Amino acid sequence: MPPFRVQLKDWCDWTDNPWPKIQNVVGNSFRLRGPRQSVYTMAATAVMRLIDQYELDPAEIGFLGLGTESSTDNSAGAIIIKGMVDRALRASGRAPLSRRCEVPEFKHACLGGVYAMKGALRYLALDGAGSKAIVVCADIAEYARGSTGEPTQGAGAVAMLLERDPTLATIDLGMSGSASDYRVMDFRKPMLRFCGQDRSESHHVQDFPVFNGKYSTTCYIDETLHALDQLYEKRDVVPSNYLRSLEHVFMHRPYRRMPENGWAVAWLFALARGNDSDRRELAGYCETSGVDFDALQKEMDACVNVQEFATPETLNLDAYPLTMATLQAFRASPRFAPDTLDKLSLGGDAIRDLGNLYTAALPAWLAAGFEEALATKLPLAGKELLTMGYGSGDAAEVIPFFVGERWQEAAARIGFAEAMHNAVDLTREQYEALHDGRRVAGLEWLPADEFVIERVGSSEERHFQDVGIEYYRYV
């Protein structure tokens, strides 16, 4: 995690926003990258820490995948991370990563890290048998000041080790579910935004997305439902029985309320396909909200084309209006806590201080969950953890993790809490300057055991060109 933190309570005072609402919907704080940090420095630092904390032999790493939507080089990807790590390893007297290491970058909004993980698993199952893989998810979520997305910013990176005989948890892709559908404009980053940016005062390339909040929420929910449908079919399970059996669920989390609504709607859909008791429960929520049960069932059974709502006239309409009305009754019911909040609670308090990490949001939540389970001596061995990844545009992946018998050994080395201890709270003036890419006065921060940008090339000579290329140093 970069050290620079904005407390959302302070941000609410600066911007005249209601703190109780922001805390309940978004979280407690978010991080910003520093003047000498980029998505590549954060990713490489996470990989170095993974190698050190798990005492890995770099020569055994045959796959280094980068999941990100914040990369600023349209040619190179994970090879940049490999080059930085190799140089630091050599400087410390160690061997570099294998010369035979594959170095792909995966991009699909916030789902890029999950796709990278699936690519690594397939590599280990096929031609990479006998090797190990590292997947690093790194992103910078930034929004224009004054926009509705501003309190949901964040920055950070999470590196994951994958191997054929894991200690922490196993993954069976045969039990997972996938979904994808083009959604035009719910969250996009057209390259036009980059043109002509001035980097003279800082190394930052600003990456504000084009987004439509309410429509994006609809897309998230709809894609999650379709991915779950495939999982139900593959595993031949009754949806309500399956969801009820799960104790811990981890979902892509752009802000606190989004996974709550996503999971709650999935639960309402599961009740509609359940037994008589399930349907009576759902009917009770319908009665409370004034929704006709048969009409709700018809809406849930219909094949909604969410792309039809991607117009200025329909963008703020609900694709599932009766479902969302029923959701309000469910949220107010005594069943909402055990059926939704409790299942999303493991690690939930810790990640209120993360902000949105895009591709790194889901693995960061998993890391926080495993550390909390270790600290509280929670019996996780043999249990199934359901993970749900999502990327705007849109696509979703629902993948179960099965916790290993010796999971505590691996969880003890994760280092989530340690990575959060370096916080430097920003003043309003410091935040605005850092956000805007201007020089920042009074920042008390000296980098240690991490990569930084040393300089950015500017030469466009005929015999030598390095304009825009970042040069890095391990401090």
Going by C-alpha positions, the residue among 18, 6, 266 that lies closest to residue 143 is: 6
Domain end, chosen from 396, 411, 426, is at 411
The reply to whether 374 and 423 lie within a common domain is no
Query: Which ranges in 236-292 belong to alpha helices (H)?
Result: 239-245, 257-272, 276-289
What confidence tens digit (pLDDT) does each residue in 1-59 have?
999 999 999 999 999 999 999 999 999 999 999 989 999 999 999 999 999 999 999 99
**175 within 8 A of 97, measured Cβ to Cβ:** no
Confidence of residue 71 (pLDDT cuts 50, 70, 90): very high
The reply to whether 163 and 296 lie within a common domain is no
The reply to whether 14 and 118 lie within a common domain is yes
Tell me: pLDDT of 328 over 90: yes
Residue 374, in any domain of the structure: yes
Q: 229 is in which domain, residue-wise?
A: 212-411
pLDDT for the residue 194: 62
The reply to whether 261 and 329 lie within a common domain is yes
The reply to whether 161 and 230 lie within a common domain is no
Number of domain units in the chain: 2
Length of the chain: 475
What confidence tens digit (pLDDT) does each residue in 228-280 have?
999 999 999 999 999 999 999 999 999 999 999 999 999 999 999 999 999 99
Cα 252 to Cα 391: distance, rounded to the nearest angstrom: 9
How far, CA to CA in Å, does 265 sit from each of 11, 144, 271, 417?
A: 31, 30, 10, 31
Residue 30 belongs to a domain with what CATH number?
A: 3.40.47.10
Cα angle value 42/120/373 (rounded, 5°): 65
The reply to whether 148 and 233 lie within a common domain is no
Phi, psi of 153 (to 5 degrees): -75, 175
Phi, psi of 57 (to 5 degrees): -90, 110
The reply to whether 163 and 224 lie within a common domain is no
Residue 175, in any domain of the structure: no
The reply to whether 84 and 224 lie within a common domain is no
Q: Where are the beta strands (DSSP E) in 304-426?
A: 384-391, 395-403, 424-425
**168 within 8 A of 406, measured Cβ to Cβ:** no
pLDDT for the residue 199: 61
Q: What is the largest CA-CA distance in the chain?
A: 76
Average pLDDT across the chain, whole number: 93
What confidence tens digit (pLDDT) does each residue in 155-173 have?
999 999 999 999 999 999 9
Compute, in degrees rounded to 10, the torsion defined by CA atoms 441, 442, 444, 447. Answer: 10
Per the omega criterion (within 30 degrees of 0), is the bond before 394 cis? Answer: yes
Rounded percentage of the chain residues whose pLDDT exceeds 90:
82
Residue 163, in any domain of the structure: yes
The reply to whether 307 and 430 lie within a common domain is no
Q: What is the pTM of this model?
A: 0.93
Residue 255, in any domain of the structure: yes
Cα 451 to Cα 474: distance, rounded to the nearest angstrom: 4
The reply to whether 384 and 470 lie within a common domain is no
Tell me: pLDDT of 333 over 70: yes
What confidence tens digit (pLDDT) does each residue in 176-221 have?
999 999 888 788 877 766 666 666 676 677 777 777 778 888 999 9
The reply to whether 399 and 467 lie within a common domain is no
The reply to whether 400 and 424 lie within a common domain is no
Residue 192, in any domain of the structure: no
What confidence tens digit (pLDDT) does each residue in 117-140 have?
999 999 999 999 899 999 999 999
